[in-house]
Chains A and B, each alone.
Chain A
Amino acid sequence: MSTFVMPSLGADMKSAVLMEWKVKEGDPVTKGMVIAEVETSKGVIEIEVFEDGIIEKLLVEEETDCTVGTPLALIRSKDEAVNTKPTTQDLPKSPSEILKEPEHEIMLAAERIKASPAARKRAQELGIELASLGADKEAIHLAQIESEITAKIPQPSGMRQAIAKAMSRSNAEIPHYYLSASVNMTPALHWLEEYNKNRSIQDRILPTALLIRAVVYVLKEVPELNGFWKDDGLQMSMQINPGIAIALRKEGLITPAILEAGQMDLDATMQALGDLITRTRSGKLRNTEITQQTITITNLGDLGVENVYGVIYPPQVALVGFGRIMDAPWAQGDTLCVRKVMQATLAGDHRATDGRTGGKFLDRLNQILQTPEELL
């Protein structure tokens, strides 16, 4: 059980009026969710919760002025038993009571991870969570951070070998099946062109981002392709972390993931893609990005390739390939016309899924690309 308190939204904020509860008792909440509106001296501000759970109790009525730190609600974590009668231990304490408690300060000190400024800076650059390094007594130093990345990112010279190894294993272990579909990209490109027209260059959406977004969108409907083959079974992943094949100029290829792409709209997907490519090229990937891919997307269209028959990265169970978009004859109703056409390919792990699943995926992908506005 935890207590949600009136947050401090600025150094000069002393209190705020709780104007409206956006949740009621018993409602599930997730991290980042807005659960109330408060009126501060600077206007009404939405306040968010910092954990997943269930609202056990709302402690403050609407239109109450609360100083910063005042307990507003009790939140029960999902796997915590329902406690009809909060014990005295769970009862929130007023800020003044909390201040009196000596353990409080000690607890805060313990929460702060000891890390050198240099380690902190490098970890931030690389997106490494200091907490993930599990240092509880010893301070974290630069060397630990550096070893974290060198361990996780294969160096270019070793990269070829790493790819070779993964691919050999894949070919040996995974019974691949391949499906392909011709996609009429004219509506999507046309729509994208319109969409980009009013945006500055740096805000333009690339077709690649639209394709990634489409794959992620469809994976929600066909989740069997998003996950791992582990312990002789398919483990579908809740998160959608598509690994994007990015060629490094020197040599090799790396497929870091856009993490939690399922949570992203089109703009966010583009932003994440740009960020990922930039960091990949400068060698600043996060370890989760190179370890937690749930599917791979390869877009070799830039190189003029028409069909991509990829090799699945184990333990993933699928790879989506996109070829070059080119002008091609296209039958529309009774007439033959020229359209922008692209080959979308799916490589699937036959142990995990079969052609039916793959076919459904490509079919939905094709459909959604005909109505791209849905991908916004």
Chain B
Amino acid sequence: MSEIITYREALRVAMSEAMQKDERVFLMGEDVGRYGGSFAVSMGLLEQFGSERIIDTPLSESAFTGAGIGAALNGMRPIVEIMTVNFSLLALDQIMNNAATILHMSGGQFHVPLVIRMATGGGKQLGAQHSHSLEGWYAHIPGLKVLTPATVQDAYDMVGLALADPDPVLIFENSLLYNAKGALERQAEPLKIGKALVHREGKDLSIFTYGISLFKSLEAAEILSKEGIGAEVIDLRSLRPLDDETMIRSVRKTHRVLIVDEGWKSGSISAEIMARINEQAFYELDAPMMRVCSAEVPFPYAHHLEQAALPQPEKIVAAAKKLMEGI
């Protein structure tokens, strides 16, 4: 039995259910309580669970993220909400130097079952300090898992998957998706962490993408199909671990690869995907791989400039056609 709810509600429902089931779960972050969450994700949870489990923090990203790690080390299942990915950089020390390393440094004695949620992505004219997609950076770090739910179902499932994981898991929520509606099946068997999902089958080219770019890619695939080009659209869902198997299987089928990522190109997850395909399926490629990424600028404020900086369905269509021509 499925219901139609928003991405935001899916996250809230998932957290609420987890907190009901497990007293070790709590939510901590800036304005998650009385304000209801800067993107209203945790609206109503304070009333439901009280201020001991829905904890408003001061603007101390490093300390409250570190506190999440400490609590996780000490038997809790904290969810830390960081308002946007740009702010997470203030907590990068804790995420990189503690969350990702303690299991290894301690020779496997201590693990960090921490979930960190944060908003990512541009498109809301928030300028160059609120709009970037830095999830690819985090995917660089061994010891972390990086999830990027695109659908309502994944938003719901991934909170549960992340909480069940014994290691630190980062969930990146594109802020434009919070209002998106979709079907949620609460009893559905969630996919495992690190499994990509083929959203649309196609024989001519593979589009690897995640997050909000999934929907832009699906839109592009629809346009392409009218022109007789079959695009296979794969939602990576997890940037670390990457699902090499599903990607390579698709490459073997289509022999052409297009990566759509709202992050920048240079030194990015899209570059990593290309490298892996190159390492594992070079001889399957029938054309150079292509990318549609964000323009390499700090995000501008003006609407037309920002839209021009972002991946768009038209850009994806154009790139796909070029790819089919063999470039």
Contacts and interface: CB of A to CB of B under 8 A. Distances in A.
B326 A117 contact: no
B282 A116 contact: no
A210 B286 CA distance: 43
B291 to A, nearest CB: 18
Interface string A134-173: 0000110111000000000000000000000000000000
B284 interface: yes
Interface stretch (A12-20, A118-126, A294-302): A118-126
Contacts of A121: 283-284
A120 B283 contact: yes
In this complex, the member of A116, A139, A141, A142 whose beta carbon has the largest number of chain B beta carbons within 10 angstroms is A116
Contacts of A138: 326
Best-buried of B255, B282, B284 by chain A (most CB within 10 Å): B255
Given A116-B326, A118-B255, A141 B287 contact: yes
Main secondary structure of the interface of A (DSSP, over half): helix
B283 A141 contact: no
Contacts of B287: 116, 139, 141
B284 A118 contact: yes
B285 A118 contact: yes
A121 B326 CA distance: 17
Contacts of A119: 286
A142 B326 CA distance: 10
Contacts of A117: 282-286
A63 to B, nearest CB: 45
A139 B285 contact: no
The bracket for how many chain B residues form the interface is under 10
Nearest to A138: B326
B257 to A, nearest CB: 11
Contacts of B282: 117
A121 B287 CA distance: 13
Nearest to B282: A117
Contacts of B285: 116-118
The winner among B282, B283, B285, B286 for most chain A CB atoms within 10 A is B286
B284 A141 contact: no
B255 A142 contact: yes
A242 to B, nearest CB: 33
Interface in A308-345: none
Interface string B283-300: 111110000000000000
Nearest to A116: B286
B305 to A, nearest CB: 35
A141 B255 CA distance: 10
A119 B282 CA distance: 11
Interface in A343-360: none
Contacts of A139: 287, 326-327
Contacts of B327: 139
Interface in A68-126: 116-121
A118 B326 contact: no
A368 B283 CA distance: 47
Contacts of A142: 255, 286
Nearest to B278: A117
Interface in A26-73: none
A42 B32 CA distance: 74
Contacts of A143: 286
A118 B257 CA distance: 13
Interface string B310-327: 000000000000000011
A124 to B, nearest CB: 9
Interface string B271-287: 00000000000111111
A184 B255 CA distance: 56
Contacts of B283: 117-118, 120-121
B323 to A, nearest CB: 11
A13 B91 CA distance: 54
B274 to A, nearest CB: 13
A49 B256 CA distance: 40
Nearest to A120: B283
Nearest to A145: B286
A270 to B, nearest CB: 30
A52 B301 CA distance: 69
A90 B157 CA distance: 74
Nearest to B284: A118
A117 B287 CA distance: 8
B48 to A, nearest CB: 55
A151 to B, nearest CB: 19
A117 B282 CA distance: 6
A347 B284 CA distance: 46
Contacts of A120: 283
A117 B326 CA distance: 12
Interface string A250-270: 000000000000000000000
A143 B255 CA distance: 11
B322 to A, nearest CB: 13
A118 B326 CA distance: 12
Contacts of B326: 116, 138-139, 141
User: Of residues A117, A119, A120, A139, which shows the largest number of chain B Cβ atoms within 10 Å of its Cβ?
Assistant: A117
Contacts of A116: 255, 285-287, 326
A146 to B, nearest CB: 10
Contacts of B255: 116, 118, 142
Contacts of B286: 116-119, 141-143
Given A117-B282, A121-B283, A141-B286, 18 more contacts: A116-B255, A116-B285, A116-B286, A116-B326, A117-B285, A117-B286, A118-B255, A118-B283, A118-B284, A120-B283, A121-B284, A138-B326, A139-B287, A139-B326, A139-B327, A141-B326, A142-B255, A142-B286
25 contacts: A116-B255, A116-B285, A116-B286, A116-B287, A116-B326, A117-B282, A117-B283, A117-B284, A117-B285, A117-B286, A118-B255, A118-B284, A118-B285, A119-B286, A120-B283, A121-B283, A121-B284, A139-B287, A139-B327, A141-B286, A141-B287, A141-B326, A142-B255, A142-B286, A143-B286
Interface of B: 255, 282-287, 326-327
Interface of A: 116-121, 138-139, 141-143
10 tightest A-B CB contacts, nearest first: A121-B283, A116-B286, A118-B286, A142-B286, A117-B285, A117-B283, A118-B255, A141-B286, A117-B282, A141-B326
